[in-house]
């Protein structure tokens, strides 16, 4: 497996991940967005946000449990009109080109429970730069504005939908295929199943104790059990 690295605030801020990403880009595993294009995208997305007001970012996957940015508050939130799906093949991070993992992205339809991360107004510039470095490094996602129901009020929030034109978009992956890849794939960020486990753990903390992610985790754990047993027997 490739050298292990962490998706931390320090790594994002320092450029520590750049050699890994540049090597992956050269190998055709990802397509990195140029820095100026990513920055233009960030500024265009934030253009309508009122000056001096705090910003909410809706997390539905790893942003819930590893935002890697300075969050003043995180509260349970429901977004209608979008749902989370494992719809991005990972040839880096939690998978390899030989056996890719899967990551979550929002797609139109349904609803999604997650966390609304509040970023203080004075820190929006610095913290969204970090968020764009992690979520928009390769153009796999499209930033969107959603209405986050915070339980009593609705706040506009930025989130990230899958880009259906991206070359690693995973359209409608069958349940058993998802379970196999999530259960068995590993990469520099660790086993893919850890990503799903931590997502489910966070959903349970906000009151979502049953659902599609729970069913998928059960199947992925069985896949991993069989995979590790077969490896030990060889």
Q: What is the pLDDT of residues 20-29, one digit of tens each?
A: 667 776 776 7
Domain of residue 72 covers 9-233
Alpha-helical segments (H) within the chain? 9-14, 18-26, 35-46, 62-65, 124-135, 175-184, 192-205, 212-233
Residue 132 within a domain: yes
Residue 155 within a domain: yes
CATH of the domain at 56: 3.10.490.10
pLDDT, tens digit (0-9, with 9 covering 90-100), for 59-112:
999 999 999 999 999 999 999 999 999 999 999 889 999 999 999 999 999 999
Closest CA to 62 of 2, 12, 122: 12
Q: Tokens 């991005």 belong to which residue?
A: 88
Domain count for the chain, please give it.
Answer: 1
Would you name the residues annotated as active-site residues?
135
Q: For residue 2, what pLDDT is reported?
A: 47
Residue 91 within a domain: yes
Residue 41 within a domain: yes
Residue 2 within a domain: no
Band (209; pLDDT cuts 50, 70, 90) = confident
Residue 4 within a domain: no
Q: Tokens 């929006």 belong to which residue?
A: 124
Q: How many whole angstroms separate alpha carbon 129 and alpha carbon 107?
A: 24
Question: Residue 219 corresponds to which tokens in the numbers above?
Answer: 């199947």
pLDDT, tens digit (0-9, with 9 covering 90-100), for 3-51:
556 677 777 776 665 666 677 767 767 777 888 999 999 999 999 899 9
Give the pTM.
Answer: 0.89
- Based on C-alpha coordinates, what's the Rg of the chain? 17
Above pLDDT 70, what percent of the chain? 92
Residue 38 within a domain: yes
Residue 1 within a domain: no
pLDDT, tens digit (0-9, with 9 covering 90-100), for 179-191:
999 999 999 889 9
């Amino acid at each position: 497996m490739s050298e292990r690295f962490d998706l931390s605030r320090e790594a994002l801020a320092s450029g520590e991940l750049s050699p890994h990403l540049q090597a992956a880009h050269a190998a055709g595993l990802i397509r990195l967005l140029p820095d100026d294009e990513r920055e233009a995208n960030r500024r265009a997305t934030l253009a309508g946000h009122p000056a001096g007001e705090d910003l909410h970012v809706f997390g539905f996957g790893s942003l819930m449990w590893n935002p890697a940015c300075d969050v003043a508050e995180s509260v349970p939130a429901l977004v209608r009109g979008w749902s989370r799906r494992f719809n991005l093949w990972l040839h880096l991070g939690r998978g390899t080109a030989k056996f890719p993992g899967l990551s979550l992205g929002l797609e139109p339809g349904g609803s999604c429970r997650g966390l609304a991360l509040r970023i203080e107004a004075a820190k929006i510039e610095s913290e969204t730069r970090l968020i764009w470095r992690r979520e928009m490094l390769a153009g796999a996602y499209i930033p969107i504005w959603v209405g986050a129901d915070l339980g009593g009020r609705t706040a506009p929030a930025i989130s990230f939908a899958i880009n259906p034109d991206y070359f690693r978009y995973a359209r409608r992956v069958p349940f058993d295929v998802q379970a196999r890849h999530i259960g068995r794939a590993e990469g520099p960020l660790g086993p893919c199943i850890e990503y799903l486990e931590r997502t489910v753990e966070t959903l349970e903390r906000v009151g979502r104790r049953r659902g599609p992610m729970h069913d998928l985790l059960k199947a992925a754990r069985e896949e991993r059990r069989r995979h590790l047993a077969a490896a030990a027997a060889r």
